[in-house]
Structure 1
Amino acid sequence: MTTFRSNMMKSIFLAATMLATGSLAWAGQAPGALSAPDVPISHHDRVYAAEQFSNTVSVTDPVDNKLLGVIRLGDPQPGNFSPLYKGQVLVHGMGFSPDHKTLAVVSIGSNSVSFIDTATNAVKHVTYVGRSPHEAFFTPDGKEVWVTVRGENYISVIDPISFKETTRITTPNGPGMQIFSPDGKYGYICSSFNPETDVVSVAEHRIIAKVKQESPFCPNIAATPDGNQVWFTLKDVGRTQVFNAKPPFNAIRTIDTGPITNHVNFAHTAKGTFAYVTIGGLNEVKVFRTDDFSQVATIPVGNLPHGVWPSGDGTRIYVGLENADALAAIDTATNKVIGNVPIGQAPQAIVYVPNAAPAPDDRQNLQALGVAGQVAHLALAPKDGTKHGTAPTSVSLFDQGLIQILQASVTGLQPKQKYVLALAERSDGGGPLQPLAAFMTNPAGSAIVNAAGPIRQIVDQSAAAARRYLVIASGDAAMPGEAVQIEAQ
Structure 2
Amino acid sequence: MFSIRRIVGVTAVLTGAGATALGAVSLAQAQPPPPASGQRSGAKTTAGDGTSVNAPISGRDRVYTADQTSNTVTVIDPNTNRTLGTIALGVQRLGTTLSPQYTGNVGVHGLALSRDNKRLGVVSVTSNTVDIIDTATNKVINETDVGRASHEGTFTADGEQFWVADRGRDTVTVVDAVRGGVVTSFKVGPGPSKVVLSPDGRTAYVNHISAPEITAVDVRTHKIRYTIKGLGDAFSSDEAISPDGTELWASHKRAGLTSVIDLKRRRVTAVLKTGPDTNHPNFANTKNGSFAYLTVGGLDQTHVYRRNPGGTPKLVTRIHHAGHAPHGMWPSGDGTRMYVGMEKSDAVDVIDTATNKVTDTIGVGKEPQALVYAPNAAPVGSADNLGRQGLGDAPRNVPTTLPDGTAGEPMRPADKGRRLEATVRSVSGLGMIQLQARDLQPTTTYQASAVQKDGSRTSLLSFTTDSSGNAAQVLAFADFTGVSVSLASEGKATAQTLARMTAAAAASMHPGSDGAVEAADLLYCDCC
Matched, 1:143 2:160: yes
Q: CA deviation at 1:197?
A: 1.9
Distance 1:221 1:425, change over 3 A: closer
SS at match of 1:233: strand
Aligned residue number for residue 111 of structure 1: 128
Aligned residue number for residue 157 of structure 1: 174
Aligned residue number for residue 272 of structure 1: 289
Counterparts of 1:276-355 in structure 2 under 5 Å?
276-291=293-308, 292-301=312-321, 302-355=323-376
Does the CA contact (< 8 Å) of 2:42 and 2:375 recur in 1?
no
Does the CA contact (< 8 Å) of 1:424 and 1:434 recur in 2?
yes
In structure 1, which of residues 454, 467, 472 is the aligned counterpart of residue 478 of structure 2?
Answer: 454
CA–CA separation in structure 2 for the residues paired with 1:199 and 1:287: 27
Deviations, residues 404-429 of structure 1 (Å, cap 9, x unaligned): 32223434x25965453612779999
Aligned residue number for residue 76 of structure 2: 60
CA–CA separation in structure 1 for the residues paired with 2:211 and 2:162: 23
- The alignment's TM-score, normalised by the length of structure 2, stands at 0.78
CA–CA separation in structure 2 for the residues paired with 1:158 and 1:120: 21
SS at match of 1:119: coil
Distance 1:416 1:271, change over 3 A: farther
The AA in structure 1 aligned to 2:476 is A
Does the CA contact (< 8 Å) of 2:47 and 2:198 recur in 1?
no
Q: CA deviation at 1:449?
A: 1.4
Counterparts of 1:4-23 in structure 2 under 5 Å?
none
The AA in structure 2 aligned to 1:403 is L
CA–CA separation in structure 1 for the residues paired with 2:162 and 2:206: 14
Q: CA deviation at 1:254?
A: 0.5
Aligned residue number for residue 7 of structure 1: none
Distance 1:416 1:216, change over 3 A: farther
Aligned residue number for residue 47 of structure 1: 63
Distance 1:418 1:148, change over 3 A: farther
SS at match of 2:299: coil
Q: CA deviation at 1:272?
A: 1.5
Q: CA deviation at 1:164?
A: 2.2
In structure 1, which of residues 423, 436, 453 is the aligned counterpart of residue 449 of structure 2?
Answer: 423
Distance 1:178 1:84, change over 3 A: same
Deviations, residues 278-300 of structure 1 (Å, cap 9, x unaligned): 00110000001111511001001
CA–CA separation in structure 1 for the residues paired with 2:278 and 2:353: 20
Q: CA deviation at 1:142?
A: 2.0
Distance 1:156 1:28, change over 3 A: closer
Distance 1:32 1:424, change over 3 A: closer
CA–CA separation in structure 2 for the residues paired with 1:44 and 1:308: 19
Aligned residue number for residue 433 of structure 2: 406
Does the CA contact (< 8 Å) of 2:47 and 2:115 recur in 1?
no
Distance 1:228 1:446, change over 3 A: farther
Q: CA deviation at 1:42?
A: 0.6
Does the CA contact (< 8 Å) of 1:424 and 1:471 recur in 2?
no
Aligned residue number for residue 483 of structure 1: none
RMSD of Structure 2 on Structure 1 (CA) = 3.1
CA–CA separation in structure 2 for the residues paired with 1:229 and 1:429: 54
Deviations, residues 225-246 of structure 1 (Å, cap 9, x unaligned): 1111000100110000011123
Q: CA deviation at 1:400?
A: 1.6
Higher RCO (C-alpha under 8 Å, 6+ residues apart): 2
SS at match of 1:80: helix
Counterparts of 1:92-103 in structure 2 under 5 Å?
92-103=109-120
Distance 1:304 1:381, change over 3 A: farther
Q: CA deviation at 1:73?
A: 0.8
In structure 2, which of residues 242, 253, 256 is the aligned counterpart of residue 235 of structure 1?
Answer: 253
SS at match of 2:97: helix
SS at match of 1:237: coil
Q: CA deviation at 1:387?
A: 6.5
Aligned residue number for residue 78 of structure 1: 95
SS at match of 1:456: coil
Counterparts of 1:236-275 in structure 2 under 5 Å?
236-246=254-264, 248-275=265-292
Distance 1:65 1:371, change over 3 A: closer
SS at match of 2:233: coil
CA–CA separation in structure 1 for the residues paired with 2:207 and 2:199: 17
Does the CA contact (< 8 Å) of 1:49 and 1:349 recur in 2?
yes
In structure 1, which of residues 458, 471, 479 is the aligned counterpart of residue 487 of structure 2?
Answer: 471
Distance 1:474 1:296, change over 3 A: farther
Does the CA contact (< 8 Å) of 1:437 and 1:477 recur in 2?
no
Aligned residue number for residue 223 of structure 2: 206
The AA in structure 2 aligned to 1:154 is T
In structure 1, which of residues 215, 238, 242 is the aligned counterpart of residue 233 of structure 2?
Answer: 215
Q: CA deviation at 1:193?
A: 2.4
Q: CA deviation at 1:189?
A: 0.4
Aligned residue number for residue 466 of structure 1: none
Distance 1:32 1:366, change over 3 A: closer
Distance 1:98 1:373, change over 3 A: farther
Counterparts of 1:344-423 in structure 2 under 5 Å?
344-357=365-378, 359-369=379-389, 373-380=393-400, 383-384=405-406, 388-389=412-413, 391-392=417-418, 393-411=420-438, 413=439, 418=444, 420=446, 422-423=448-449
CA–CA separation in structure 2 for the residues paired with 1:250 and 1:370: 43
The AA in structure 2 aligned to 1:31 is D
Does the CA contact (< 8 Å) of 2:191 and 2:209 recur in 1?
yes
Q: CA deviation at 1:388?
A: 3.1
SS at match of 2:480: helix
Calculate percent identity across the aligned residue pairs.
36
Does the CA contact (< 8 Å) of 2:442 and 2:465 recur in 1?
no
CA–CA separation in structure 1 for the residues paired with 2:491 and 2:200: 51
The AA in structure 1 aligned to 2:423 is S
Distance 1:448 1:429, change over 3 A: farther
Does the CA contact (< 8 Å) of 1:343 and 1:369 recur in 2?
no
Deviations, residues 56-93 of structure 1 (Å, cap 9, x unaligned): 11001111211110111111212211111111101000
Q: CA deviation at 1:23?
A: 7.3
SS at match of 1:281: helix
The farther-off stretch of 262-271 and 370-379 is 370-379
CA–CA separation in structure 2 for the residues paired with 1:281 and 1:446: 13
Does the CA contact (< 8 Å) of 1:414 and 1:441 recur in 2?
no
Aligned residue number for residue 12 of structure 1: none
Q: CA deviation at 1:179?
A: 0.6
- The alignment's TM-score, normalised by the length of structure 1, stands at 0.84
Does the CA contact (< 8 Å) of 2:151 and 2:164 recur in 1?
yes
Q: CA deviation at 1:158?
A: 1.5
